[in-house]
Every structure is written in structure tokens, then in C-alpha cells.
């Protein structure tokens, strides 16, 4: 079915809502999960705003796909909440938590055959505008994962210097450091980089290739350890 047929009963929804409906339909149709019918304007408090949609689906896979698409693009689509299979996920109330709803007594009222979604008011932003573009002259922001990789490679220094540089650049030092530790010590109960560096200086891990091989075999990042060794020695 075409979008024209599927959206025939949308009614006088807001223009941005209709644009979102078209986007969802096109994306779902391309993935083989197109809704078979859409509702828009109605007498309920949410549908009366012109900012709500009911996307009727033929099977669970289609509902899952549509719900996940909407959630993935929630910021750009100005999502308030999405309901599917008697569970609501909101961007304002317990954000991101999929909460079970009370039993309303029927398949449709429990949202087992359709995805219900409510958007905030605002202008439509087309696909590709999910992330704000960097301002002219500014550098693109890095993810926590990218920063952790750079920290392990020694690009952000060590100890207080690392913290100062990350904070000055506008990043959350604790988030980055937690991921660094998780990657360097994936099994838990492992020695910290600082402990290993002290042991290396004390000669407990050997030298040169031997040290590198022993640290690697034990599951540690020898480069990160060596950076900390160099830092400690430079202060003595």
C-alpha cells in the first residue's frame, strides 16, 4: 500500500506530524515493516493535539522495528513518549526506562497491535539532522569510547594532567576514566595502571621485550603501563 492509502485517516494533524508519519512509513517500508494503517486526529487528549500518531502493524516484528526507529531518532523527532505492547518509554518521565502500563482490557487499548507516539510541538527536521552540526571553527565532539582509546594511547597525559585536560575540553572525566579502567581491567579485581607502573619500576616485570610480553600475556596494555612509568620517573 502507498503512503497516501495508509495515511488517509490522519486528519488535520500538524504539518510536522504528517512529515514524521511520512518519514516513518518510508523507512519502515524500505525495511519491510511498513504500517498498514495510521490514525492521527481524534477525541482523546493526545490525539486532539495533532501531535500524536497510531501506527497499526501486522506483526510484532513491524511494531518492534517502528518503535525502535522512533526511539533512535527521538531527539530530532521531538519525541515525548512512545507506547508499544503495553509499555511506555518517555523522554521526560523516567527517561529511557521502558515501563509497563496497566491492563486496559483489549489488544488495541493495550497497544499490542499498534505503536502510539506523541511528539512535542516544533518544526520537522529531516533525516540527517539528528546531531547538531559543529559551529564554524569548532572541533567535532568525540565519544567517550574515542576518548578512552586516546587515553590508553597516552594522548591525554596521566593523573591530574589528564583530568585537567579532559575537563578543560568539556568532557566528563569520570565517564572516560571508568571506561578506560573497564577496558584495561575487563575481568575485575585486576591491578591498576599505577600499581603496575610501580611494579615495573621495582623490576618485577623485567625489561624491554620481556616486560612487554609478560604484561600482554597477563592481559594488560603495556603501552599504558609504560606511559605511567615514564610519568613517574620524570617526577623523580
Residues 152 and 112 in one domain: no
- Which residues, other chains included, contact 161 with Cβ-Cβ below 8 Å and sequence gap of 6+? none
Residues 214 and 165 in one domain: yes
Helix (H, G, I), strand (E, B) or coil at 130: coil
Supply the pLDDT for residue 81: 96
Average pLDDT over every residue of 23-45: 92
Burial state string for 14-35 with b = 16 or more CB within 10 A and e = fewer than 16:
bebbbbbbbbbbebbeeeebbb
Classify residue 70 by burial, with Cβ atoms within 10 Å: 0-12, 13-18, 19+. Answer: buried
Helix (H, G, I), strand (E, B) or coil at 119: strand
Residues 28 and 78 in one domain: yes
DSSP 26-94: HHHHHTT---SEEE---SSTTGGGT-EEEEE-SSHHHHHHHHHHHHHTHHHHTEEEEEETTEEEESSSS
User: What total number of domains does the chain contain?
Assistant: 2
Where in the sequence is the domain holding 59, given as residue range(s)?
Answer: 3-119
Q: Which residue has the higher pLDDT, 193 or 56?
A: 56
**For residue 22, what is the DSSP state?**
H
pLDDT per residue over 160-214, tens digit each? 888 888 888 888 888 888 777 766 665 555 677 777 888 888 888 888 888 888 8
C-alpha cell at 98: 521502558
Supply the pLDDT for residue 134: 47
When pLDDT is cut at 50, 70 and 90, the band that residue 130 belongs to is: low
Residues 82 and 173 in one domain: no
Average pLDDT over every residue of 67-76: 92
DSSP run (H or E) holding 115: strand 114-119
Residues 160 and 88 in one domain: no
As a whole number of angstroms, the distance between CA 35 and CA 59 comes to 9
178, part of any domain = yes
Residues 98 and 150 in one domain: no
Residues 12 and 108 in one domain: yes
When pLDDT is cut at 50, 70 and 90, the band that residue 132 belongs to is: very low
Supply the pLDDT for residue 188: 55
138, part of any domain = no
Q: Which residue has the higher pLDDT, 113 or 232?
A: 113
Amino acid at each position: 500500500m502507498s503512503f497516501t492509502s495508509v495515511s488517509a485517516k490522519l486528519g488535520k494533524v500538524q504539518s510536522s506530524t504528517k512529515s514524521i508519519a511520512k518519514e516513518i512509513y518510508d523507512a519502515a517500508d524500505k525495511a519491510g515493516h511498513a504500517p498498514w494503517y495510521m490514525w492521527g486526529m481524534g477525541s482523546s487528549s493526545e490525539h486532539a493535539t495533532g501531535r500524536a500518531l497510531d501506527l497499526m502493524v501486522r506483526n510484532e516484528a513491524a511494531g518492534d522495528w517502528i518503535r525502535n526507529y522512533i526511539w533512535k531518532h527521538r531527539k530530532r523527532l521531538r519525541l515525548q513518549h512512545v507506547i508499544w505492547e503495553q509499555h511506555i518509554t518517555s523522554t521526560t518521565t523516567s527517561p529511557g526506562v521502558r515501563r509497563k502500563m496497566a491492563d486496559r482490557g483489549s489488544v488495541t487499548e493495550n497497544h499490542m497491535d499498534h505503536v502510539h507516539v506523541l511528539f512535542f510541538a516544533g518544526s520537522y527536521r529531516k533525516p540527517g539532522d539528528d546531531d547538531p552540526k559543529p559551529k564554524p571553527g569548532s572541533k567535532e565532539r568525540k565519544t567517550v569510547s574515542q576518548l578512552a582509546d586516546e587515553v590508553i594511547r597516552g594522548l591525554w597525559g596521566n593523573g591530574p594532567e589528564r583530568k585537567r585536560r579532559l575537563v578543560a575540553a568539556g568532557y566528563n572525566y569520570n565517564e572516560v576514566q571508568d571506561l578506560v579502567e573497564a577496558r584495561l581491567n575487563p575481568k575485575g579485581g585486576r591491578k591498576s595502571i599505577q600499581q603496575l607502573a610501580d611494579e615495573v619500576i621495582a623490576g618485577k616485570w623485567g625489561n624491554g621485550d620481556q616486560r612487554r610480553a609478560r604484561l600482554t600475556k597477563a592481559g594488560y596494555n603495556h603501552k599504558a603501563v609504560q606511559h605511567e612509568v615514564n610519568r613517574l620517573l620524570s617526577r623523580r
